[in-house]
Structure 1
Amino acid sequence: MCEIDSDIAAVLELVERTDSRKDQRKMIGIAGPPGSGKSTLAEQIVARLNARKPGQAALVPMDGFHLDNEALDRAGLRPIKGAPQTFDAHGFVAKVAELRARGITKNFPLFDRNADRTLRDAGTVGSEATIIVVEGNYLLLQQPPWAELRNLLDATVLLKPSFEILEERLIDRWVSHGLSAEEAFQKAHGNDLRNARHVLENSMPADLTLTPVHRQPV
Structure 2
Amino acid sequence: MTPSDVPSTVSLGPAGAELAGLVPAVGERRFLLGVTGAPGAGKSTLATHLAVACGATVVPMDGFHLADVELVRRGIRDRKGAPETFDGWGYAALLARVRDRPPYVVLAPGFERGLEQPIAGAVPVLPTAGLVVTEGNYLLLDDPEWRAVRSTLDAVWHVRTDDAVRRERLVARHVRFGKSPDAARAWVDRVDEPNARLVEAAAHRADLVLDLTDWVP
**TM-score scaled by structure 2?**
0.83
Is the CA contact (8 Å cut-off) linking 2:13 and 2:215 kept in structure 1? no
Bigger RCO (CA 8 Å, 6+ sep): 2
Give how far 1:164 is off.
3.5
Is the CA contact (8 Å cut-off) linking 2:41 and 2:161 kept in structure 1? yes
**Paired residues for 1:8-47 under 5 Å:** 9-17=17-25, 24-47=29-52
CA displacement, residues 20-72 of structure 1 (integer Å, 9 cap, x when unaligned): 7xx6411111111110011000000111012xxxxxx2110000000111111
Partner of 1:54: none
**Paired residues for 1:163-174 under 5 Å:** 163-174=163-174
Unmatched tracts of structure 2, length 5 or more: 1-11
CA displacement, residues 104-123 of structure 1 (integer Å, 9 cap, x when unaligned): 31101111111222211121
Report SS of the residue matched to 1:5: coil
**TM-score scaled by structure 1?**
0.83
Distance 1:177 1:119 in 2: 17
Q: Which amino acid aligns with 2:61?
A: M
Partner of 1:121: 121
Give how far 1:190 is off.
2.2
Report SS of the residue matched to 2:174: helix
Distance 1:133 1:10 in 2: 18
Q: Which amino acid aligns with 1:44?
A: H
1:186 maps onto 2:202 in alignment: no
Partner of 2:89: 90
Q: Which amino acid aligns with 1:85?
A: E
129-138 vs 180-189, which moves further: 180-189
User: In structure 2, do the counterparts of structure 1 residues 121 and 78 end up closer, same or farther at CA, with 3 Å as the change threshold?
Assistant: same
1:62 maps onto 2:76 in alignment: no
Distance 1:72 1:153 in 2: 28
User: In structure 2, do the counterparts of structure 1 residues 119 and 36 end up closer, same or farther at CA, with 3 Å as the change threshold?
Assistant: same
Is the CA contact (8 Å cut-off) linking 2:62 and 2:111 kept in structure 1? yes
Give how far 1:158 is off.
0.3
Report SS of the residue matched to 2:205: coil
Is the CA contact (8 Å cut-off) linking 2:88 and 2:149 kept in structure 1? no
Distance 2:14 2:74 in 1: 39
Distance 1:37 1:4 in 2: 14
Distance 2:166 2:71 in 1: 26
Give how far 1:203 is off.
3.9
Is the CA contact (8 Å cut-off) linking 1:11 and 1:157 kept in structure 2? no
Give how far 1:206 is off.
1.5
RMSD: 2.6
Is the CA contact (8 Å cut-off) linking 1:29 and 1:133 kept in structure 2? yes
Is the CA contact (8 Å cut-off) linking 2:14 and 2:214 kept in structure 1? no
CA displacement, residues 85-122 of structure 1 (integer Å, 9 cap, x when unaligned): 00000000010111012343110111111122221112
160-169 vs 202-211, which moves further: 160-169
